[in-house]
Amino acid sequence: MSILIIAEKPSVAERIAISFGNASKLRDGKVSYFEINLKENKSNKESKENKENVEKIYVCSAVGHLYRVAQKTKDYSYPTFDVEWRATYETDKNADYTKDYIKTIENLASIVKKEKNNIFINSCDYDIEGEIIGFNAIKFACNVDPFKQDVKRMKFSTLTKQSILNAYKNLESTNKGMAYAGMTRHILDWFWGINLSKALSSSLYKILRKFQAMSIGRVQGPTLKILTDRERDIKNFVPKKYWEIYIQCKKNEHDMEKFLAQHKEGKIFDKEKALKIKEKCKVGKAAAIVKEVKKKRNKISPPPAFDLTELQTEAYAKLKIDPRRTLELAQDLYTSGIISYPRTASNQLTDPIGYYLDIIMNLSNNYIKECKILFEKNKKQKIFPNNGKKEDPAHPAIHPTGEDKDLEKFSEEHKKLYDLIVRRFLATFGDNAIREIVTANINNNDEIFIAKGATTIELGWIKIYKYAKFEEEELPELKKDDKIFVEKINMDEKETQPPKRYNVSSIIAELERKNLGTKATRANIVDTLFKRNYVKTKDKAIEVTPFGIAVVDTLEKHCSDIIDENLTRKFEKDMENIQNLKTTHDKVIDEAKKTLIEISNKFKKEEFAIGKALLNGMKAEEYNKRNEEILFKCLKCGGNMAIRKGPYGNFAGCSNYPNCKWTVKLPQGNLKIDKECNDCGAKKILVFINKKKMTFCPNPECAGKKK
């Protein structure tokens, strides 16, 4: 019998091969593969007992997607649905290297087929993408249809020897639901991407009379809409003034320890009311009295182990690692057998507890104190993980395998992420942390103030997970009827703040909450928005560019279905139903075609207006880019003043808008940044008026103007 195992990547193929032992590494041109003769493998008991059971195993790999959806014939019109699966190197000039891998798989398949008894095994990552990568490699390169022949599936969540051999002994059949869902996702993404991009490009062609590449995607559009809605909320936000009143207290006049108590109403939007409260309050000895003290102890449960989104969010918050980079690092650790499969939606550790105890034992070499805590706990009561509520039928939560001997070869970034994963895994078996919350109601001349304190009484799992930080705010020991010394009364004037912009981490979490995209694609979707110049980074947050806003404004007005998150979410649900065999691939594809035909017909009727609006957005973006250079510092708040173009013409605006609305009027016409002003250091502006050049300093406080 001959067997061909196809892995997703060369490094995984090697780990699978060496797990069997006695593997010979061979080459087919530029590509390596492995040959294993189980008959000669004396460590394999099954082969000893039945020498006719298995003779040879060949292990080779893909390099990601070897086949992709492509258009059959050149057709610049839309909508178009004439697609086929083609070798990636035929559609992408940068993927020429995939040709060698396809050739190796073809050659090995022909060898395996010569044997009467042969088995083809897909051992790619056990998820939708891995299923379709292996499915297509076997269908097209091996010329074996997994839907018609009994192609087998290896299912594992870690690349340890034990997991790999266990998966080989317990082969499953092709997961047809997962394969159909993968096919559907790729076809839908192609339908949406190519047709909507053609539509946008066509609308610009109507205006420019030349081709201008544009793109929008099935999930990309709704994501841009979410970011734009937040941008509008910030722009339209009108701040409101409010006042907060605090009394600064001591338990006794001569105490060094001070504490604050805030008036029970918190934010007071009526200044007169706030002034009356302040004037009513007293200062000095026994100016206030404690009316009530409440103490409450809160149990803080250990956090669950990571799913991918939570790992990306936590790595961004604690390690400042970009979500897309986090996935790359985690994938490296996984393919080296150091952690479990990272593209999981589960935050539950579902294997038998003995498996995790073995891992903790292995980790104790490097995490001595942390593991000792768990061993001591296990003596008193059997330890169990504190699982979350998210489930993934394919994989458990991300966890270390305990096999970290190869960690030294990795970068510091890899090691930091590994430490985060290990500590989170260990912490989930830890004790509850206990926090004591103290609330004291203090009466100052019949005005009630509230003082709050919070302290950690028992660290519990926090001893293990050093990345968790709780703010400690101690109050002095207070009892009912204690007289309090009031040192002073503060009345702080503040303003309500606009909502915060999303960052790359929080938008991924929002996409997960809204069920848009997949755990593995969300970071790439956000990255694509940056590449398309729809968004940019501002103070580590995501700001939508004028061009991005123009795209959303235009589509909302003329063809809102393109950016409708409900439509995208519906197709996501359809693909879940395909995977669970509750609906069919053909039904979902037919429905998608009908939807795109309706969208296209609507779009074509408005092409000229859409193109004009997009062009205006492009011009605004170019103008902003040209004039983003700082002119001078804002005289009101210290922000950066730069040239802006509004509905009433040119002006210099502050970078801290909308919190700062200070502006300086500028002449109309085509403005350009010139050299620095000798008197104040601001950037001068060059303006053309009646074909004459003039330069001037925009700083109203420039010393040169006073001269």
| Residues taking part in catalysis | 341
Alpha helices in 532-584 (DSSP H): 546-558, 565-579
CB 603 within 8 A of CB 559: yes
Q: How distant is the alpha carbon of residue 206 from its chain centre?
A: 37
CA distance 679 to 674: 14
Distances (CA, A) of 427 to 350, 455, 461, 674: 16, 20, 5, 58
Residue 567 backbone dihedrals phi, psi, to 5 degrees: -65, -45
CA distance 128 to 393: 12
∠ CA 137-139-144 to the nearest 5 degrees?
Answer: 125
Q: Which of 51, 68, 209, 63 is nearest to 140 (CA)?
A: 68
Alpha helices in 269-411 (DSSP H): 271-280, 308-319, 323-335, 353-363, 368-380
Q: 88: which residues sit within 8 A by CB, 6+ positions away?
A: 65, 66, 67, 68, 95, 98
| DSSP letters for 289-310 | EEEEEEEEEEEEPPPPPB-HHH
| DSSP letters for 197-240 | HHHHHHHHHHHHSS-------TTHHHHHHHHHHHHHHHHT----
Q: Which of 144, 133, 136 is nearest to 109 (CA)?
A: 144
∠ CA 91-93-98 to the nearest 5 degrees?
Answer: 80
Residue 563 backbone dihedrals phi, psi, to 5 degrees: -115, 20
Q: At what angle do helices 607-626 and 546-558 cross, to 10 degrees?
A: 170
CB 165 within 8 A of CB 46: no
Bridge partners for 162 per DSSP = none
699: left (phi over 0), alpha (psi -120 to 50) or beta: beta
CA distance 523 to 321: 12
DSSP-derived letter for residue 464 is T
Q: 237: which residues sit within 8 A by CB, 6+ positions away?
A: 498, 499, 658
Both structure tokens of 132: 């379709």
